[in-house]
Amino acid sequence: MVASGEQRGVRWLVMGDDDTVFFPENLAAVLGNVEQDVLHSYGMAFGGGGFAVSIPAAAELTPVLDSCLERYNHFYGSDQRVHACLSELGIPLTREPGFHQPISPRGRDRLEALGSLVRASRLDPARTLMQSICYEPTRGWSVSVAWGYTVQLYPKTWRSSQKGPFTFNTRPVPSEPCDRPILFFFDRITKQKIDSGGTVSEYSVHLPGNSSAACEHPDFAAASKVKLIEVYAPIMDPNDWKKAPRRHCCETETRRRPWWGRSSTMEVRISPCRPGETITKSPP
């Protein structure tokens, strides 16, 4: 296409594996922040995360691509080969934080997991997978929300296990239930009944295969009673991503539902941070 000049109106070439999920609105917003007439490439995305190459960079790459692929035939995967070929041309890597999200939703099978993530994105694509962190003030719990995917409830705080220089912490999941957070996975989403332009998403507690091996530590007793987390959030303006947006803040509230017996529901309300608001827990 590039060699034949049939790329009129095309600004970027994006490539991904068969198990890569693209959210078109978010992808267009991210690439819209970069001048497409300049030689750009998004380099390595190990694991099939996908990459984008600007049309001018692709035009430079096209005449030398065949010979370059022969030189790097021992490389694994198209992303590694294209990265090597662009490096030979002196085209620098343009790193865009958040371009690759190395997580996927949990479900009964892959299609169901994908459908779950897409359902959330249809109501608020700009907020999909956006992280918010807050605290439950009365008990000292930490709450981490990856909107549309999962909520992690930390009954206590652990020392960081990330000792190396890498972006992603690849430590194994602890087998001891007291050494890991309680996970809640996305279940459903609705628009708020009041005319506020927001959503309510629900996340149900995830019970691992050996659910009988629950943590019996006192710090986990109250947290283990939380079976559902409701996240209230305003619809995010896609144009906010063009302004280097500040991460949104959140507040929590735990209530008991009588018809659920002793189980509880936690409410998390996400909103733009107020002046001076931080995620740092205030001392008692």
Element (H, E) at 249: strand 249-256
pTM above 0.85, yes or no: no
N residues, the chain? 284
Tokens 């992603």, located at residue: 168
3-class DSSP state of 151: strand
Q: 36-40, 53-57, 112-116, 133-137 — which is least confidently predicted?
A: 36-40
Mean pLDDT, the chain, rounded, equals 75
pLDDT at 104: 47
Share of the chain above pLDDT 90, in %: 8
Mean pLDDT value of segment 97-107: 51
Q: Are 51 and 57 in contact (CB under 8 A)?
A: no
pLDDT at 181: 86
Confidence category of residue 195, pLDDT binned at 50, 70, 90: low
pLDDT at 109: 66
Identity (one letter) of the amino acid at 87? S
Non-local (6+) Cβ contacts of 47 within 8 A are 102
For 221-244, letters b (16+ CB in 10 Å) and e give eebbbbbbbbbbbbbbebeebeee
Q: Could you tell me the CA-to-CA distances from 26 to 16, 83, 174, 205, 237 in Å, in that order?
A: 15, 23, 34, 28, 11
Ordered by start, the domain boundaries in the chain are 12-88, 110-271
Mean pLDDT value of segment 203-221: 73
- Return d(Cα 233, Cα 236) in angstroms, integer: 8
Q: Are 214 and 182 in contact (CB under 8 A)?
A: no
pLDDT at 1: 42
Q: pLDDT digits over 34-82, tens only?
A: 766 665 554 454 455 667 888 888 888 888 888 888 888 888 777 778 8
pLDDT at 96: 65
Q: 78-92, 150-164, 264-278 — which is least confidently predicted?
A: 150-164
Alpha helices in 106-209 (DSSP H): 110-123
Mean pLDDT value of segment 128-152: 86
The DSSP bridge pattern shows strands 182-191 and 131-136 to be unpaired
